[in-house]
Structures are given as structure tokens and as C-alpha cells.
Amino acid sequence: MLLAIDVGNTNTKFAVHDGAGWRAQWRASTDSSRTADEYAPWLAQLMDLGGFGFDELNACIVSTVVPQALFNLRNLSRRYVGAEPMVVGEPGVSLGIEVRIDKPSEAGADRLVNAVGAFVEYGGPTIVIDSGTATTFDIVGVDGAFEGGIILPGINLSLQALHDAAARLPRVEIRDPGRVIGRDTVSAMQAGIYWGSIEMIEGLCRRIRTEYGKPMKTIATGGVAAIFEGAFPAIDHFDQDLTSRGLLEIFKRNGGVF
């Protein structure tokens, strides 16, 4: 079985594929100082709950936007999976797509993996919206190429900035407050972040489609995306498996077997 690891700035996702489908997926807070020996018992307990163990894993692929986390995850794969991990972005690991931007080396591994996963499942052209520490809008061309996009602060980051910069503004839950006009500070902040995010997503999708000049599907993924599921028509599909699917496809494109 394949262990696919996607390291984001805030969370790290571990997913296991048995060749027929995803057996399990888990998230942990990203901590680049966490050692292989600290990851292993945590994963072992979760895998045991799923009815399998490390002895059934024989391959690993890693994508990370936190370079300092790679050393420990590489050791995790070597010691507990018994395999040298395939690492997205390293020499010899091909994405199988063209990175059609001015400085291809600047494209984050997570954005490229999402582009591969989106094209495999939905084709192109496609807008991929990933809501995490940052919110990104990435363009996947009709041929699967990564064609650039938009980066802006994520929802939680925006809320944290409000709390940190304004002494009287509290931390609040991200949810639909039921109305646009808030009647108190908390509901006003919730309305601002919830409806403001929806208007931002709809407005940017509209501008992207106008500039691109062709019909485009829109796919949303990431830890925060589920909050907006069903709230507005700009997004065609909510897909929490997008990054894992991209990692699986890249593994296969590079001759990986498990």
C-alpha cells in the first residue's frame, strides 16, 4: 500500500491507498521538529483502527511546502515503510504537466499536485481553489498545464490578523451567522468573514473566467472549503481528496508500484 503525505503550512495530511481506493486519511498539525519516531506510534494507532498496519505499506510519496519537515518524513518512510520516498519537486520526479508560468521554480508543490489531481478527475480548463493558510486560485489548462493563479491570505489568517491588530476583537468561529448585517461584534465579524469570502470567491472566479475567455469548471479543496459547500453556485465540485489523488497520479507517472 502507498502512504501519501502532503505537508502544508498548517496541517499535514496522511493518506493510504491500497491499489483499489483510499483506505484512510488523517490530518495532523504541521510540526517540522516532529521526528519519525514520534510520527510512527500515532500513525500505527490510527492504522490499527482501520484494520491494517505498517507491515502492509511498501511505498511512500511526499509533497511539502515546509522544506525543513522533509528530513523527518524521509526517515519515517525509510524506517517504518521500508522504502525510499518519492518527493515531489526533486530531480527525476516528473509531474507529467507543463508549468506554464514565468518562473516555474516558484510554483508551490501543493499547487502543482492539485493541478494534476484536478486534471485527472475533471479535465480542463479548471479553476482550483485551495483554502488553507493561504487561499489560492490556480488555473489548469485544457491540456493539464499549470497556467498560474492568485494567492491571498487564508480565512483563518485574516481572522487572526484582526484579533491580533485590534485589542477588542475576539477570536470567532467561521460560520454563516444567518444574516449579513451583524447585531453585535461576533456576528458582525462572522458575517464579514463568511459573506466576504463568498463574494471574494465569486468575484475572482468571474474575473478569471472573463480573462481566460473559455468556460471553466471550478473545484474547491482544503481544510476550510467545506464551510462553504452548498452556499453559492460559483463552485462546481468540493473535493477533499484532490491533493491525495494528485500524489497518487504523480507516483504512477514516475513508475511507482505498490
- Residues annotated as catalytic (active site), given as ranges: 110
What is the rounded CA–CA span in Å between residue 198 and residue 242?
21
The grid cell for 135 is 487561499
What is the enclosing helix (H) or strand (E) of 72?
Answer: helix 70-76
The grid coordinates of residue 233 equal 453556485
Q: What is the pairing mode between strands 134-140 and 59-64? A: unpaired
Nearest to 80 by CA among 113, 61, 106, 55: 55
Using H for helix, E for strand and C for coil, what is the string for 182-211? CCCHHHHHHHHHHHHHHHHHHHHHHHHHHH
Alpha-carbon distance of 61 to 85, in angstroms, equals: 5
Rounded Cα distance between 71 and 161, Å, is: 31
* Inter-residue contact 145 to 98 (CB < 8 Å): yes
Phi then psi dihedrals of residue 156, to 5 deg? -65, -35
**Residue count of the chain:** 258
Taking the C-alpha atoms of residue 118 and residue 140, their distance in angstroms, rounded to an integer, is 8
Cα 138 from chain centre: 12
